[in-house]
Amino acid sequence: MAILTGNSLTMEKVNRIVFEKEKVELEKGAAARVAENRKLVEQLIKEKQIMYGINTGFGKFSNIIIQDDDLENLQLNLLHSHACGIGEPFSETISRAMLLLRANALARGYSGVRLELIQQLIDFLNAEIHPVVPEQGSLGASGDLAPLSHLALTLIGEGEVFYKGKCCWANEALEAEKIKPLQLKPKEGLALINGTQAMTAVGAVLYLETEKLLYQSELIAAMTFEGLQGVIEAFDQDLHRVRGHQEQIATAARLRGYLSGSGLTTRQGEKRVQDAYSLRCIPQVLGACWQTVHYAKEKLEIEMNAVTDNPLLFLEEKKVISGGNFHGEPIAFAMDFIKLGIAETANISERRIERLVNPQLNDLPAFLSPNPGLESGAMIMQYSAASLVSENKTLAHPASVDSIPSSANQEDHVSMGTIAARHALKMLENTRRVIAVELICALQACEFRGIERMADPTRDFYDKARKVIPSITKDRIFSKDIERAASWLKDARETDVRQKYDEGGEGKNEKSNSEKGLGTRM
């Protein structure tokens, strides 16, 4: 059981709740704060204090005072008018993450909602009722207004949800689970939609998937390194220690672990003095990609525990403050930054694919074909990878540098953070397919070299991958192989061998090769 406090959500906990479907419960202390904060709203309404979005209109209508009899209708009208999402729905995974993040933010006790509202979000999580939320339509500034409106509607029994493997009306799922539709009270509609939970949910899922992808890309790169008989000195610990970037050092350590004992790697001068950059600079490039991922994680974990709606109510001071915590700029920047790391992971992978298939760059069969000329082998797989890499370059354009005013220029600067997150997620899907192509080619190259000479970790990965991707014995419809490989990589909950060589495992605090008296041979 995961306990929501409002300020202790981590990526590890998100992974358990979102992917592993761990049940959720609100901490008692958080529940008490929420209840007390709600009393302040009700007190201030009785005192006729003017509060944005509670007894005023929204956006440019904020100067219009709403009468007490219409306060609940105001919240319902807000959801109806703002549910302007467009396009295909977010995945159930992202919808589930949105529910979790919205519940956690409201649990901080500054938003003026009732406990019943947070419990409704938690009940949806525990019953696996996931709102159907269109993925387009957010400017990422006054919160993710359009997508969160679609989420909020399902809590009151309107709109559509994913439930038990199908799409249905929200009221049908609520009836099946014996959950009563929520009746909105003053402030609650606004509190549900004024926040960054759509972009942050996409970002959290993106982070977890990108972390896995980077570990997989390192392992696949190690297999390619064997297939091309790479020069192992490029991963020497001393070389990376003197530059000092910890991500680069960690990547090199994992690569040394993956390739330890390999009979397919070579030494300086044995076949060549040094390799091309796509082999020699794997730690430097992927290490830098890890830096973008770590930055995104830091900002996302702050935002997952942040209060991002408006206005906010501070109980001790008995004050209501209108501000701009809903503005998505911190997440927009983080998503635009992680896009660079995702793009470069694909870029360097595609260059290794080229080295695996190009007969002018290796001594393998041309295009890894079993019958060069009659059969084209992996020739067009490289085309497809190159196409995805090029598409990533267009998606990598920063969304956060754009802004279009809205609400009659009242909201005159927006973040486009949700667009940045969506584009990053698409780039991740493209990149997974690129490294899937590299995997297929690396498997074939290592088979040609002799799999009995592979290192134990890469051989273990080879054996598992071969259960999904059979050897290329003749030309076939390779798009099916690419999709199978990509799905296999996506569905893997862990890269089996990486933990052994991660920063906390055997790769940490290892002595330099000179200290161990091993030279540079591993």
What positions carry a catalytic annotation? 52
Cβ neighbours of 47 (radius 10 Å): 8
Q: Which residue, among 365, 428, 371, 366, has the nearest Cα to 396 in the 3D structure?
A: 428
Q: Do 234 and 275 form a contact (C-beta atoms < 8 A)?
A: yes
Phi, psi of 266 (to 5 degrees): -125, 175
111 within 8 A of 308, measured Cβ to Cβ: no
For residue 320, list its beta bridge partners: 313
Q: What are the DSSP calls for 418-481, one per residue?
A: HHHHHHHHHHHHHHHHHHHHHHHHHHHHHHHH-GGGS-HHHHHHHHHHHTTS---SS---HHHH
CA distance 462 to 447: 9
- Please state, in angstroms and rounded to a whole number, the distance separating the CA atoms of residues 102 and 230: 49
Q: What is the 3-state secondary structure (H, E, C) of 362-384?
A: CCCCHHHCCCECCECCCHHHHHH
Dihedrals phi, psi of 53, to nearest 5 degrees: 75, -5
CB atoms within 10 A of CB 347: 18
Instruction: List C-alpha distances in Å: 392 to 359, 370, 485.
Output: 27, 31, 20
Q: What are phi and psi of 375, to 5 degrees?
A: -125, 135
Amino acid, res. 231? V
Tokens of 450: 């002799």
Rounded Cα distance between 504 and 297, Å, is 19
Cα dihedral 47, 42, 185, 199, rounded to 10, equals: 100
Burial of 376 (0-12, 13-18, 19+ CB in 10 A): middle
